[in-house]
Amino acid sequence: MQLLDGKALSTKIEINVANEVKEFKSKTSSVPGLAVILVGQDPASAAYVNMKKKACDRVGFYSVTHEMPGDISQDAIENTITMMNKNPNIDGILIQLPLPEQIDTTKILELVDPGKDVDGFHPYNVGRLTTGLDGFVPCTPLGVMKLLSEYNIDLKGKNCVVIGASNIVGKPMAALLLNEHATVEICHIDTDDLKKHTLNADIVLVGVGVINLITQDMVKDDVIIVDIGVNRTKEGKLVGDVDFENVSKKSSYITPSPGGVGPMTIAMLLSNTIKAAKAHADERV
């Protein structure tokens, strides 16, 4: 069993991005800019945004967080996004999800300039991903792909089971695997007999937020496990969706949780932002 070490790879990517920022700065006399919209007081969202801010500082980005009250109006968020779309010093715009119930999330995501959509949630970028064209890809599934590539895991022809069908992780994950010529199944909350699907999988990728959803009896020998889940136990310990202790005994490769996919998500946000900055280089002031 070998660990898929996302923490180590994310550090390598950060170093590369920091070097790209120095080169960008020397050519444009400016730095890449990332703007975040954070609505409400959700502790998990606030902590995640803080982690992103620290990562931006480490690589030399300019970053700004627009903190808004939970009872904010649709118009107020839309006005802020419009302002950021027009700001030539902002290369990436990130909307921290989830948004409050009174906000039309789809409309908000569609308002972001596709060229600044570093989270890859705009329908334009979703379409380009689905058709195998270049664009911005959601950070978590993109991080998974980078992690598999780092360990030279060939996806061509592999039977991959993606558990979870969200627009943020499951669907783009399946599209990325399909683009690499894997054979892909998507399972979700209404899937009957999950074990029947996972037992045939060469690679299981799971991110639904259920502790110990994947157990040792559900996978075959030498399976590759990518645990995208993030959960907190009653004791406050962070764990994934996989019974790591037992499933790892049958795995050829497995991500730890934490320390696997999580760090890669932020690394891909940095990567997407420098990519956007380079595309905007001739527009900067």
Say if residues 284 and 88 touch (Cβ distance below 8 Å). yes
Catalytic residue among 91, 96, 202, 227: 96
Asked whether residue 158 falls in the same domain as residue 235, the answer is yes
Which of 50, 82, 115 finishes a domain?
115
Asked whether residue 187 falls in the same domain as residue 231, the answer is yes
Say if residues 257 and 239 touch (Cβ distance below 8 Å). yes
- Transcribe 97-138 into DSSP letters: SPPPTTS-HHHHHHHS-GGG-TT--SHHHHHHHHTT-SS---
Q: Give how many domains the chain has, as a whole number.
A: 2
What confidence tens digit (pLDDT) does each residue in 116-127 have?
A: 999 999 999 999
Above 80 in pLDDT, residue 210?
yes
Confirm whether 23 is domain-assigned. Answer: no
pTM of the model: 0.94
Above 80 in pLDDT, residue 59?
yes
Asked whether residue 198 falls in the same domain as residue 147, the answer is yes
Q: Active site includes 222?
A: no
Question: Which pLDDT band, with edges at 50, 70 and 90, does 236 fall under?
Answer: confident
Q: Active site includes 96?
A: yes
Asked whether residue 151 falls in the same domain as residue 111, the answer is no
Asked whether residue 153 falls in the same domain as residue 235, the answer is yes
Catalytic residue among 5, 119, 227, 241: 119
Asked whether residue 242 falls in the same domain as residue 159, the answer is yes
CATH code (residue 87): 3.40.50.10860
Asked whether residue 197 falls in the same domain as residue 152, the answer is yes
- Transcribe 138-190 into DSSP letters: -HHHHHHHHHHHHTT---TT-EEEEE---TTTHHHHHHHHHHTT-EEEEE-TT
Asked whether residue 88 falls in the same domain as residue 40, the answer is yes
Average pLDDT of the residues in 85-89 = 94
- Give the domain range for residue 153: 139-262
CATH code (residue 251): 3.40.50.720
Average pLDDT of the residues in 204-221 = 96
Confirm whether 10 is domain-assigned. Answer: no
Asked whether residue 94 falls in the same domain as residue 201, the answer is no
